[in-house]
Structures are given as structure tokens and as C-alpha cells.
Amino acid sequence: MEPKKPPQDFTLRVRRYDPESGEAPYWDEHTITLEPHRSVLEGLLQAKGRFDGSIGIRCSCKAAICGSCGVRVNGQPGLACHTHLGAALKTAKDGVIDVEPMGNMPVIKDLIVDMDAVHWKKIQRVTPWLLTGELPEREHIVPKEAMVDVTQSMACIQCGACVSDCLSMEVDPLFIGPAALAKSYRFVGDPRDTQQAERLKDIAEDPHGMYSCTHCFKCIEACPKGVAPMSQIMRLRRRATGDHHIKDRNNGYNHEKAFVKNINKNGLLHENDLLADSFGGKFNPASGLFLMKSLPVISRALLRRKATLKVALLHPHKAPADVKRIFDEIHAKDERNEFNLYISGTDEDNAPNQPDEADGPQAGPLAGKESSAA
């Protein structure tokens, strides 16, 4: 075990802002003295106690459980109580640790953001409770694989870190958002819920729903609990298209099928075909209308030599035999085999000659444990 280091000085540069004052945001620096293994939250509380009691910070458990102390440290969202001062200093650009409020939410004061206005409003949007029919007399036994699957989304502590860094929300503030959609999968993936198809159709038809995610991975990087909201969004999409065959007005279903068709045919993505096929083919009126709207963008690309007519109209690359074989093997399967770390485990978990191999195959960290829910 590494010995703890003695106290040292750390300079915190805190983003201050009070909307009621009418003044612009500004930076405020304080030097605190703590051991490097202590948290940024402890540093903020020391600065608040010793130098300026007006610093606004929200916190509660100090143990990375409640999710109250979400902030940005050196530009990265996370929990102030879960970020060590020593680690924060290593990512500081000029030896000063920057602490800012989270993004995509209005600031109430300093580091405190209005989560009711954005985060909790979007959580309420996805009906965050089970919708069941006739209840069993005693208990509802749930397959352990199903409960282990939704355990990943249940691990969310509602800190809002993923919302803070969501690029789609920056462009479209009405986007339901990664936290709410991950919460939605918690119920869509629960076999006790009787309205899974209705839930999926709702967020598929919403123009700001699950198809507005741009796969930027920022929410996965931001999450302190490994919920991986983007992965939950992808599972929602696969359930909507693969299990319930929901053909939505946002063309999410058609776009997915067009993408598969495109790669199967070309091996490499040909975006011109992808765009047309997502709207029913090049001769579909909806496709023609969308292509007409895209003409200014296409024209600029041609003028700036970022594209040529040959590349735009033709795709010289065709899928090799190995790619065709992969598609044939996948399409030959009776059902979708979806890899999930919470069920399948890591490569190390599934390596041969494990100590407990004699007891039968294990699957993931919670495999073999019975799951039931009342």
C-alpha cells in the first residue's frame, strides 16, 4: 500500500457567478493545505470555511453515493468528492485546479446548478417507474440475466455528469438526454414492465428522443459509476428496431437498416447511398426532398474539393469476402446475441482454466446468483 503523503498547498480557481447580482461570472483563487489523497470537495469546503463563506457548493455524503457534488474539474465533469487533489493537479494546465459548475444546466450560484430545470425534468419525461399489469400473489421471479442487465442502468446516482457534457444537448436543449434515456432502459429491460413497446415507440417517435444521440461517447467518459448511458441508448434502439420493429417518423428504423445494407454492400460507408436509403431509396419523394435541402452543403463540399462527383455518385469500394461472411453468420443466427460486460464479463473472466471452472461456466461478476423482485 502506497504511504500517504504529507499536506501540501493546492490552489483552487473557482468559477463564481450569482445571477441575482447582475454581475458577470469571474474566477476566484484560494490556496488550501491538504494531503494529495484528499478530495477536491474537501479543498472547496476548506476554502469556504477559511476564506469565503459565500462560495456556493452542493454536497451531502462525501462518498460518491449521493451525486450532489457534481462539478467540472479542469474541464472534465465528475464528482468533487471522488476527485483527488493530487490527481486533479496532474491535469491542471498551469498548476492551478479549475473548478466550474456543470454544463447544460442553468447556474443558481457558483457551483450549484438548477437540476430541477433540466435533469429531473427529463427524468420525469420517461415515466421512471414500473408499469405493470396484474400483480402476482407473492413475488415476481425475474431471470437473473435480465436483472443483471438492468443493474448497469440502476447504478446511476443522478449526478448529472453525463448531462453536463452531452454534445447533443448543447445543440438541442430539448434532447431527452443520456441520463433520462439510461433510466428508460432500466424499465424497458425489466421483464416485469408491461408497456415496453409503448415506452420504446414514445422515445422513438419523439424528434428529440433516442435517435438524437450522436455517439460522441462523452457521457461514457463522464459517468463516475460506469453506467455508460450511450450503451443504454444503443440497447433501446436495438430493442425498438430488432425486437419490436418500430418504424418511427424520425427514420431511425430505416437508417439502421440502410446502414447495415450499406456496409454489407460496400464494406466501407458510402454516405450518399446511406442518406437516400434512409428515406426509402433514391427515387422516393421523401428522399428527393431531403437531398434537395442538402444541395447547398454538397455544393460547398464540391467547390472546396472536399468531395468529387465521382465519389459522390459512385463508390469504388466493394465489400470483401470476409465482410460478407461476417454478415452471413450474423443473419443466420436465430436470435441476437448481445455482449454485455455485466452478464458476459471481461476477457479475463472468460479466460480458460479459471479456478472455479469445475463448478460450471460463470458469466460475469454476478453470475450464478438468484435474482427476485417483489
Instruction: Provide the pLDDT for residue 77.
Output: 95
Question: CB of 163 within 8 A of CB of 104?
Answer: yes
- Angle between the N-to-C axes of helices 271-278 and 252-266, in degrees from 0 to 180, rounded to the nearest 10: 140
Each residue's pLDDT expressed in tens, for the chain with a length of 374 residues: 456 889 999 999 999 999 999 999 999 999 999 999 999 999 999 999 999 999 999 999 999 999 999 999 999 999 999 999 999 999 998 999 999 999 999 999 999 999 999 999 999 999 999 998 887 788 888 888 888 889 889 999 999 999 999 999 999 999 999 999 999 999 999 999 999 999 999 999 999 999 999 999 999 999 999 999 999 999 999 999 989 999 998 889 988 888 888 899 888 887 777 877 887 776 777 666 777 777 788 788 888 887 777 766 666 778 889 999 999 998 888 877 766 666 666 656 655 655 444 444 333 333 333 333 33
Q: What is the largest CA-CA distance in the chain?
A: 72
Cell triple for 24 = 458577470
Question: How many beta carbons lie within 10 A of that of residue 138, not counting itself?
Answer: 7
Question: CB of 256 within 8 A of CB of 278?
Answer: no
Instruction: Provide the pLDDT for residue 309.
Output: 72
Exposure letters 254-274 (e unless 16+ CB within 10 A, then b): bbbebeeebbbbbbeebebbb
66 burial (CB, 10 Å; 0-12 / 13-18 / 19+) is middle
Cell triple for 349 = 473472466
372 burial (CB, 10 Å; 0-12 / 13-18 / 19+) is exposed
What does the alpha-carbon distance between residue 107 and residue 356 come to, in Å, rounded to a whole number? 52
What does the alpha-carbon distance between residue 95 and residue 260 come to, in Å, rounded to a whole number? 48
Instruction: Provide the pLDDT for residue 154.
Output: 93
Q: Which of 27, 30, 5 is nearest to 16 (CA)?
A: 27
Question: CB of 290 within 8 A of CB of 275?
Answer: yes
What does the alpha-carbon distance between residue 339 and residue 186 come to, in Å, rounded to a whole number? 17
Instruction: Provide the pLDDT for residue 176.
Output: 97
